[in-house]
Structure 1
Amino acid sequence: MKHALFLTGIVLFASAAMADDAPPWSENILDRPLNFEKLASQDTAAMELLISHGERLFIGKFTTADGAGRPAATQAIVPTKRRRPSPLTFQRLAGLDANSCASCHHDPVAGAAGDFTTNVFVSEGFESADFETIDPQFSNERGTTALQGAGLIELLAREMTKELRDQRRDVAHLARSTGTAQTIDLSAKGISFGRLTAHPDGSLDVHEIEGIDPDLTLRPFSQKGVFTSLRQFTVNALNHHHGIQASERFGAVWTGTDDFDEDGLAAEITEGDVSALVVWQATLATPARKQIMPEIWARAAEKGEQQFGAIGCAQCHVPALPLDSLIFEDPGPYETAGTLRPGDVTDGIHMDLATLDWVKALDRDEQGRVLVPLFGDLKRHKIADAAQDRLGNELLSQRFVPRDEFLTAELWGVGSTAPYGHRGDLTTLDEVIRAHGGAATAARKAYETLPEIERESIIAFLRSLEIPQ
C-alpha cells in the first residue's frame, strides 16, 4: 500500500495539518501526528510547519503514553523479541537511555553533540541478544556526534554512491564486451575507494575496495559509517534510545503485529512524524568559522590551517567536497528494508536546500557546485595499530566493519564538540591528534615533531571551527 506523504512542488513541500484534539497542556509529544488526509500543493508555509513539528519531536520528552518503552523488544535494528521482559524501563546499557533526542544532542545547541555523560552503548547492530552489561565483548560505548549540516552530508553520500555504482556498471559492461577482466580505480569527488575488477562472466572481485562496503553504498552516519540516511538513523534511534517503534519498521506489514514491543500501544510513530524529524535534521545549518576572534587567534588559525594541510591531515579531513544538487528527497534513493522507500510512497518530500540562507552563504566552485566545508571524506580508515590502539580499542565489530576502522570525523564543528574520540574520553584536541594510528600515523608523527608554537596554531585553527549558537 502506498502512503500519500506529500504533494510537492519544485521548491517545497506540502502542508500537513495537525490533529487539534490534544489539549495545549498535554505532556505527550506524539499527540499531534501529521495528518496526510489534508494536503495542499506548494503551500509556502509547509516547510516552516514541517521543520517546526520536527523540532518539537526532537526536543520533546517522550512519555509512556507516546509509547516510550519496549518491554518485549530489543535495541536491534532488525525487530527482535527480548528473551524476557526487562524489569527496568530505563537503563544506561541497552536502553532506554534517553527521554528526548535533544537530551544527548544538545551541546551547544539542539542537534549538536554531547558530553561523556550522554554516551550510549551499542551492540553489533542487527539481530542481537539482549545485553545488560558494559563488558566490551557485548557492547561498544560511543559518544554523541553533532547533526549540523547532516542534510548536505547525506546529499554528498548519495551523489558519491551513484558515481561509484556508475563506475561499477561501466567496468562490468567493458569486461563483458571485451571478454577479458577489467580493473578500475574507484573514485568519487576526488576521494579514492580502491580498485574493482570485473570479469566477463559478470562476477566482481571486491577485495581491493577501500573505505566502503562492497555494495558501494556510502553510509555517512554513525562513527563507523553504518547508516545510509537520516531516516534510517532516526528510525533506529527512536527504538534504541526511546522505545518508540516506527510503523514503517515495526508495523504489522513487517512483524505481524502493530504492537511489536507489547507495551499496549500500536503504531507509535507515523511515517509523517519520522519525515518531520528527518527534515528538521536535514535543514540544520552547517558549522562555520568563528567570526569574532582576537587578532592573535585569527593569525594563529590562519597559520594553523596551512600547517594542517602541510602535515597531511587534510588528506582525510578534506576541507570541502563539491555538491551538484541541493534537492533533498525523503525517503531517499538508497533506503533499506525496514525504512520507508521511494516505492512505498505516492509522493515524497522534495526540499530545495538552496532556498535556505545558510546554504546561500556557502562558497561555490567554478562549475557552480556548492562546496560543503565538512573537513572529511565520508570514507572509513584504519586509525589504530599495535603501537597506537587508543582509537581502535573496541572488541565488538559493528555491521562487519573492522574494529580499528572508523569513518573520518567531519571537523567543521570540532571547536564546539569536546570531548573527543569515539568514546568521548579524550579531553583535548591535542590528545585526540596524538591518539591517531594506522593510516594517520605519518600525519600524527609530523604533528608531534612540530615546534610547540606550530602545534598550537593547528589547535587554534581547529578551535575556530564551531557550531554557531
Structure 2
Amino acid sequence: MKPILLLFLIAGTVLLGRAVHSSGQPPTQPPEAVTGFDDQSNGFSDPDRRKADQKFFEEVESIAPDGLGPLYNAQSCRECHQTPLTGAASQVTELRVGHLDVHRQFQNPQIPINHGAEVIRDRNLVNDRAICPEIQERVPGTEIVRTTRLATNSLGDGYVEAITDETLLKIRKKQCKASRGTICGQAIKVLVPESEGPDRIGRFGWKDQHASLLAFAADAYLNEMGITNSLQKTEVTTVCNPPVATTVPNTDPTKITEPNSLPDPTDNNLEDIDHFASFMRSLKAPARDETAASAPGVKHGAKLFASIGCASCHVETIVTGKSPAAPGGPGLHPDALENRTIHPYSDFLLHDVGTRDGIPIALVEHFGRERIEKRMRELEATRAAEARQRQKGKAEDECSESYQTAVLEGGKHADLLRDTLCARNKLRTAPLWGLRLRSRLMHDGASVRLSDAIRRHKGEAEAVAERFSKLTPADKKALFTFLQSL
C-alpha cells in the first residue's frame, strides 16, 4: 500500500481558487465534499456497512487462514494508513530498487531467494518481511538504483476516483498552453482490471499506476501483504507458501489454495478487496485547520503560492463527476461522491521534478503477468507498423508532449509499456490537503522541512523553486503559514 511532493511550478496559469469541473459546464457552485477527521462516512456507505468495511481494513492478517505472505511488508492495511486516523497517511516507506543496462535504462532487479534456487523478477518493490527465513529478500550489490516511497494518504480518494478523465485532460491542456510546453503533466491511461471497459487515466500511487480503488486494493493486498485475490491471483513466490487451511510450510504449488481472499457467500459474495475499496471510498476529505487558516499572513501566503507558480500543478479546486464505483452490496451510495467540490491541491498528473531515479511502473507487479502479456499481444500489430515507419525515417519522439497529447486525444494509439517508460522520471503531483499532518515530505520522505522540500524541486519545477529562493524572509514565512494550514 502505497506521499508529500510540493510540486511548485511555473506561474503561467493560476488555477488557485478556480474550480475545474468534471462536467465541463460553467461553474454552478456544486456542494462541498464532506471533510473531517473522524470515523464517520462521507455518505458513500451506511454506518453498518462502513463499520464492516473498516473491520477488514484494520484486520491483522495471519498466515492461515488469511494467506499472509510468503513475502510482505505489513499485516494490515492500517499499518500504512493510520495518521491521524485509519485510512490516512503514515511515515512508512517501501523500498524500490533496480539497475541500469548498457543503455543507461532502468531494469527491474533480480533478487535470489531460497539459497539461490529461485530469482524474484518483474517487480522493483522489495518486501521487508517473509514468513520463513530462506526467502527473505536481500538486495544484491548489483542493484545500484535504490529509493524509498512514502505511503500515500487515502483520505478523500473516493472523490478523486470520481474525477473524470476529461477534467484531468482539461487541466493538462491549460498547463501546457500557459507554459508553452514547459509545464505539461503526463496522463497515462491504465488498465481497469475489474472492468471490460476502456482504460482510464491513472490517479492513484506515486506513478499513477491505478485508476480505480479496487485495483489499488488488489495491488496492495498482493504486494504489501502477499494475499492473492480475484484481480491478483498469482503469488510472487510459492516457496514456503502454505495452504490456506494450515500453517505447515510446503513447496508444492499444486497444494496451494489460490486466491487467498475469496468471495464470501455469507457476505453478498464480497471479498476483502471489496471491503478495502468501499472503506476508502467512504473516507472524508482532509479538513483544513480553520484556526490556522485565519492566522495573519495566510491570505498573503496563498497569493504567493499562486504567483510563484505552485498552483499550476497543485490545483486547489476540482469538481468531481460520476463515480465509477460499481455496486458493492447493500448500504452503498456512489452518488454521494458525485458533483462535489474538492480542494486537493493536486492535478493528479505526472511531472518531472528532478527525482531522476528512472524507475517506471512495474507492469507485471501491479497488473499481473497474464493481463500484461495479453495487452502486449494486442499491441504487436501496431508496433510492427511503427517499426516499418521508423525504417522509412518517419519516427517521432513518442515521449514528446505533442505525441502524448495525440495519444490522449485518440490521434495516436496508446501503449501502456511505452507510455509508462516515458514517465520513468516522473511522479504524481502529491495532493497537499492534510499537509500539516505530515512530518516527512517528498516522495521518499527524506525532507522534514518545507523549505528543503521546495528547494529539492528540479526539472519542470526548477523555475518555481528559484522564485521561492528569491522571496523575502517575511514572504517565505507567509507561504509556510499558508501551507501549514492545509
1:99 to 52, 58, 75: 75
Give CA-to-partner distance per residue, 1:234-263, whole Å, 9 cap, x none: 1111111211111343189xx9xx989778
Partner of 1:219: 202
Q: Give the unaligned 5+ runs of structure 2.
A: 1-42, 98-107, 110-120, 127-136, 178-182, 191-198, 245-251, 264-269, 363-419
| Structure 1 residue 353, shift from structure 2 partner | 4.9
Given that 1:146 and 1:417 are in contact with CA atoms closer than 8 Å, whether structure 2 keeps it comes out as no
- Is residue 395 of structure 2 the alignment partner of residue 419 of structure 1? no
Q: List per-residue Cα deviations over 1:257-303 (Å, max 9, x = no partner).
A: x98977844442135131111010011110121023496xx122221
Q: Aligned partner of 2:444: which letter? A: R
Q: 1:141 aligns with which of 122, 144, 148?
A: 148
Superposed CA RMSD: 3.6
In the alignment, the residues of structure 2 paired with residue 294 and residue 380 of structure 1 have an alpha-carbon distance, to the nearest angstrom, of 29
Residue 225 of structure 1 aligns to a residue in which SS?
A: coil
Q: Distance in 1 between matches of 2:344 and 2:189?
A: 24
Equivalent residues of 1:70, 1:262 under 8 A apart: no
The superposition leaves residues 388-446 of structure 1 with CA deviations (integer Å, 9 ceiling, x where unpaired) of xxx33x25333434342111111111111220111101011111111111111111111
Aligned equivalent of 1:376, options 346, 359, 366: 346
Name the CA distance, whole Å, in 2 between partners of 1:291 and 1:421: 25
2:140 and 2:445 mapped to 1: Cα distance? 16
**Is 2:136 the partner of 1:160?**
no
Whether 1:277 aligns to 2:282 is no
Taking a change above 3 Å as real, the CA distance of residues 415 and 453 of structure 1, as seen in their structure-2 partners, is same
Answer whether contact 1:248 1:270 (CA < 8 A) is retained: no
Matched pairs, number: 321
Q: Report the equivalent of 2:320.
A: 323
Residues in 1 aligned to 2:202 and 2:53: alpha-carbon distance in whole angstroms: 23
Do the aligned partners of residues 248 and 397 (structure 1) sit closer, same or farther apart at CA in structure 2, a change above 3 Å counting?
A: closer
1:355–1:424 Cα change, 3 Å? same
CA distance in 2, matches of 1:134, 1:440: 34
Give the alignment's TM-score, normalised by structure 2. 0.58
User: Residues 44 and 335 of structure 2 are in contact (CA less than 8 Å); yes or no, is this contact kept in structure 1?
Assistant: no
Does the 8 Å CA contact 1:137/1:395 hold for their aligned counterparts? Answer: no
1:69-218 correspondence runs (5 A): 69-71=68-70, 95-115=71-91, 118-122=92-96, 127-128=122-123, 132-133=138-139, 137=144, 140-156=147-163, 159-160=164-165, 187-188=169-170, 191-192=173-174, 211-213=186-188, 217-218=200-201
Higher relative contact order (CA 8 A, sep 6+): 2
The answer on whether the counterparts of 1:247 and 1:268 sit within 8 Å (CA) in structure 2 is no
Q: State the one-letter code of the partner of 2:445.
A: G
Structure 1 position 306, deviation (Å): 1.1
How far apart, CA to CA, are the structure 1 residues paired with 2:226 and 2:475? Answer: 48
Task: Check whether the contact 1:96–1:240 (CA below 8 A) recurs between aligned residues.
Answer: yes
Structure 1 residue 330: deviation in Å?
A: 2.9
Q: Structure 2: how far apart are the matches of 1:378 and 1:58? A: 25
SS of the equivalent of 1:249 reads: coil
Once the two structures are TM-superposed, the CA of residue 119 in structure 1 deviates from its matched residue by 1.0
CA distance 1:303–1:209, change in 2 (3 Å): closer
Change (3 A) 1:318 1:355: closer
| Residue in structure 2 matching 1:439, options 447, 455, 460 | 460
How far, CA to CA, are the matches of 1:45 and 1:302 in structure 2? 33
2:59 aligned with 1:60: yes
Change (3 A) 1:316 1:328: same
Inter-partner Cα distance in structure 1 for 2:255 and 2:298? 53
Aligned equivalent of 1:305, options 302, 306, 319: 302
TM norm structure 1 = 0.60
Contact 1:121 1:134 in 2 (8 A): no
Partner deviation per Cα, 1:305-356 (whole Å, 9 max, x = no partner): 111011110000011112233x45237xxxxxxxxxxxxxxx8789435548
Cα separation, 2, equivalents of 1:132 and 1:396: 19
Which residue matches 1:268?
A: 260
